[in-house]
Amino acid sequence: MELIKVRDYNEMSQKAAEILIGKVKGSEKINFGLATGGTPKGLYEKMIEDHQKNGISYKNVTTFNLDEYAGLSEEDPNSYHYYMNESLFKHIDILKSNTHLPKGISEHLEKECSEYDKMIAENGGIDLQVLGIGQNGHIGFNEPGTSFKSNTHVVKLAESTREANARYFDTIDDVPTHAITMGIASIMKSKEILLLVSGEAKQEAMGKLMHGEVTEEFPASILQKHPRVTIIADQKALSRVLITP
């Protein structure tokens, strides 16, 4: 795992945007895996700024998001469909038909899951997957205990995850109890992974990621086994991590 140390959230977002924009410019066609939550918001803002200033086109880009809450429609302001449209897609020239997220409402969620993996594979797989990390080590919504062999699946959210995400909802009771997430195996199939980590709340997770054992009890630890992972972490996230040069 390559570690890029940055000062703060802004610098993390800037560096990440430079990497993604570089890939958009340098490829005839590229598939990004995208994430939601607080962490990648700044990255998307920088991409939009750049698009408005320099006119880089995203018509050659296809995206697959990591996850979606079960039970929320695409129009629900708390859905990840809504987040992606508002935070990125509607501000750039990406073709809507090239953007994909798991569907949160379906009579056949399980079928939805296997079709999602199939669609990614048929499109040639993910070239670069953007990831955040949960305080409990989750990636996507793969909570501790998830099998490293898992494909896209329906999960029951950990209470700590629901609490962490309650800030976006009126009350914690409104936070969905389940979600659909790309599995650990699905994530590990990406050719390259870019993990963004910012803030004090992620210090412990950062330490376990860098120095902990590889265990299903801490899902992000599997990234130690991926051949091409870049981590961009800021000073607050790193302040309690022992870094050997």
Q: Which is nearer to ligand PGA, 1 or 56 (CB)?
A: 1
136 flagged as catalytic: yes
The catalytic residue among 31, 65, 67, 165 is: 67
Positions in the binding site for ligand PGA (CB under 6 A): 37-39, 132-134, 138
Cβ contacts of 219 within 8 Å, gap of 6 or more: 137, 138, 139, 142, 143, 144, 146, 184
Instruction: Report how far residue 133's alpha carbon sits from residue 116's, in angstroms, rounded to the nearest whole number.
Output: 22
- Structure tokens given for 210: 């860098």
Q: Which amino acid is at 204?
A: E
Q: Which is nearer to ligand PGA, 20 or 133 (CB)?
A: 133
138 flagged as catalytic: yes
Closest approach of Cβ 141 to ligand PGA, in Å?
Answer: 8
Note the helical H segments in the chain.
9-26, 41-54, 80-87, 109-122, 159-165, 184-188, 203-211, 235-238
Closest approach of Cβ 53 to ligand PGA, in Å?
Answer: 26
67 flagged as catalytic: yes
153 flagged as catalytic: no
Closest approach of Cβ 54 to ligand PGA, in Å?
Answer: 27
Closest approach of Cβ 11 to ligand PGA, in Å?
Answer: 16
The catalytic residue among 136, 142, 151, 165 is: 136
Nearest-5° Cα angle at 96, 92 to 102 = 115
- Structure tokens given for 169: 């909802």
The catalytic residue among 143, 151, 165, 234 is: 143
Q: Which is nearer to ligand PGA, 134 or 176 (CB)?
A: 134
Report the catalytic residues.
Answer: 67, 136, 138, 143
